[in-house]
Structure 1
Amino acid sequence: MTDIAIIAGAGGLPAILAAQMPQKPLIAALDGFTPTGLTPDLHFRIERLVPFLNHLIDQGITRVCFAGAVQRPVLDPSLFDPLTAQMVPRLIAAMQSGDDATLREVLNIFTEFDLKIVGATDIAPHLTPGPGLLAGQITDQDRNDAMRAATITAALGAVDVGQGAVVQAGLCLAVETLTGTDAMLAGVMQIPANLRPRATRGLYFKTPKPGQDIRIDQPTIGPQTLDMVARAGLGGIAFQTGGVILLDQPALITQANALGLFLWSRDDQGQP
């Protein structure tokens, strides 16, 4: 009998983590967000959060790991049970303060039920590579663009806006907002060529926001991001060492090389 549950969203991360565990975890998927390559043991809704948490405890669960992509669900007031309904004011107040505040409140609720939060990289440390250039080559201009992007994301992250930016020759082409990475990169594809510098290809920079609790919301890079970076005409991806998950590092390195992109795990000093 396992003592750990994966609170699963969409994508491949829940299956990767489950494969790393010595015992099969309980897989609980948020309704509407099905993980890839896993069959959930149960689904739950936010409107029935307290009964769900009590069920976890009844099953002997003492630890939970959040993994996978989710978006804010549409809540149905008719589905709230009396105990969960009492939590609505605090959840609404948190949601009005931004994503980080919302996620912190979710963590608070789980810990109030004596459930320990385990980060994805506690289970699979190899998902966050150390500093270094994993694929391709970078130039001095790429270093400058990464530094510029890091400054931009730090400023925006401080007000809970996005985890990434696209910079080319010092110019900010796009920042990640509520619509996410794919929408941002799709927007870059639409920028007229005459508005983009010609001297360099630019890069996409990914990092956690300042103060972001990566136990529940850690930025992730997967194959679709690499494809979209290439289609946007960028030179590669730089990401904060220790702060970003690579879903399948060997496969992503192979893909980056095939696409002619660099993949750079950048430390706080900007070193490859």
Structure 2
Amino acid sequence: MSAKLGILAGGGRLPSQLIKLCEETNREVFLVAFKGQTDPETATDVDHMWTRLGAAGKILKKLKDEQVKELVMVGPVKRPSMAELRPDWRALQFFAKIGAKSLGDDGLLRSVISAVEDEGFLFRGVDDLLSDLLATEGIYGSIGPNEQAYEDIKRGVEVAKAMGRVDVGQSVVIQQGLVLGVEAIEGTDALLSRCGELKRGGEGGVLVKLKKPEQERRADLPTIGVETLKSAFNAGLKGIAIEAGGALVVDRDALVNMADKHGLFVIGINPTDYE
């Protein structure tokens, strides 16, 4: 029998999908729901606790009391300020170990995972547990990029890789070779909203999402879903390119149906093909 799984739940539908899989496979699960992050419906009909992000001591004690052996981070988490985080003494000890070198999102997550594993837990990647969510290479649906879109994807790969090397973000929007916007702390939906106001005339732009070169795969893999596609459509984009094998696609069938309906393409790419 698989070890009891602790789910550290961010927003979106992924936590619920993982809970459903655990139910179908008779795997014991315990949910850690974060105030202001986790969808309240996620915690329905599952053993759980509600807490704030900074309550590390309380979280670790509860996970050990529940005899959780493996942990997974699932769903996006809005990075709070230190004032919003209000770290307890245990969290402050983590930050002391992490140091200033881990100020980027990926460095921070990697350090947190290492510190938690020192407590005796094993961290798993969501793609280990929900492998069918990994993006595959090729065109999704019936619409593909045209020549200009391929050029924008190539430019987007170049910019996204440069951003990833300095641990800034995973997404960039390119229109006709112009960088309309890059993702920082605001997240993809806010990036797309901002780029909608900056778009130029002519063909719409392309959202390119890649994992960072040194990405901690067990947390924060780039993800798209129906809401991402809606935001891309509202921003006047003509498509989305994601890294095959390095990004997650939520509700693939619904995503493809909506993309075809609205005339957008979605494509899984190998970034090395665009260098």
The two structures have a TM-score, normalised by structure 2, of 0.88
Q: Counterpart of 2:227?
A: 224
Judging changes above 3 Å, is the alpha-carbon distance between structure 1 residues 53 and 213 closer, same or farther for their aligned structure 2 residues?
Answer: same
Structure 2 residue ranges without an equivalent (≥5)? none
Number of aligned residues: 266
Contact 2:31 2:49 in 1 (8 A): yes
Q: Are the aligned partners of 2:233 and 2:264 in contact in 1 as well (CA < 8 Å)?
A: yes
Question: What displacement does 1:60 show?
Answer: 1.4
Comparing 231-240 and 33-42, the one that deviates more: 33-42
CA displacement at 1:81 relative to structure 2: 5.1
TM-fit CA distance, 1:88: 4.0
The answer for the alignment partner of 1:93 in structure 2 is 100
Q: 1:238 aligns with which of 222, 236, 241?
A: 241
Measured against aligned partners, the alpha-carbon deviations of 1:227-246 in whole angstroms (never above 9, x if no partner) come to 11111211110111011111
Distance 1:78 1:241, change over 3 A: closer
Question: Residues 169 and 4 of structure 1: is their aligned pair in 2 closer, same or farther, counting only changes over 3 Å?
Answer: same
Structure 1 residue aligned with 2:126:
120
Matched, 1:31 2:41: no
- Specify whether residues 56 and 212 from structure 1 end up closer, same or farther in structure 2 by C-alpha distance, changes over 3 A only: same
- 1:78–1:16 CA distance, 2 compared to 1 (3 A): closer
Of 180, 197, 209, which residue of structure 2 is paired with 1:173?
Answer: 180
Over 3 Å counting, the alpha-carbon distance change for 1:155 and 1:62 in structure 2 is same
2:219 & 2:90 partners in 1: Cα distance?
24
How far apart are the structure 2 equivalents of 1:54 and 1:221?
33
Which residue identity does 2:123 align to in structure 1? I
Shift of 1:73: 3.3
Q: For residues 201 and 88 of structure 1, what CA distance do their matches in structure 2 show?
A: 43
Q: 1:35 to 1:85 in 2, by over 3 A?
A: same
Segments of structure 1 that go 5 or more residues without pairing to the other structure are none
Match of 1:56 among 57, 63, 67: 63
The structure-2 alpha-carbon separation of the partners of 1:108 and 1:184, relative to structure 1 and needing over 3 Å to count, comes to same
Partners of 1:37 and 1:80 lie apart in 2 by 26
Aligned-partner Cα distance in 1 for 2:54–2:112: 13
The Cα of 1:31 is off from its aligned counterpart by 2.8
Deviation at 1:98, TM superposition (A): 1.6
Matches within 5 A, 1:19-168: 19-21=20-22, 22=25, 23-35=27-39, 37-39=41-43, 41-75=48-82, 82-91=89-98, 93=100, 97-135=103-141, 136-168=143-175
Separation of aligned partners in 2, 1:188 and 1:27: 35
Provide the TM-score with structure 1 as the length reference.
0.89
**Aligned position for 2:18:** 17
CA RMSD of aligned residues (A): 2.4
Question: Is this contact kept in 2: 1:174–1:184, CA < 8 A?
Answer: yes
* Identity among equivalent pairs (%): 31
Aligned-residue offset at 1:121 = 0.9
- Between the aligned partners of 2:178 and 2:84, the Cα distance in structure 1 is 45
Aligned twin of 1:257: 260
Which residue matches 1:208?
211
Distance apart, 1:17 and its partner CA = 1.2
Find the aligned partners of 1:26 and 1:210 in 2 and give their Cα distance: 32
Amino acid at match of 2:29: P
Deviations 1:146-166 (A, max 9, x none): 111000000111111111111
Q: 1:176: Cα distance to partner?
A: 1.2
Deviations 1:18-39 (A, max 9, x none): 1122124111112322236421
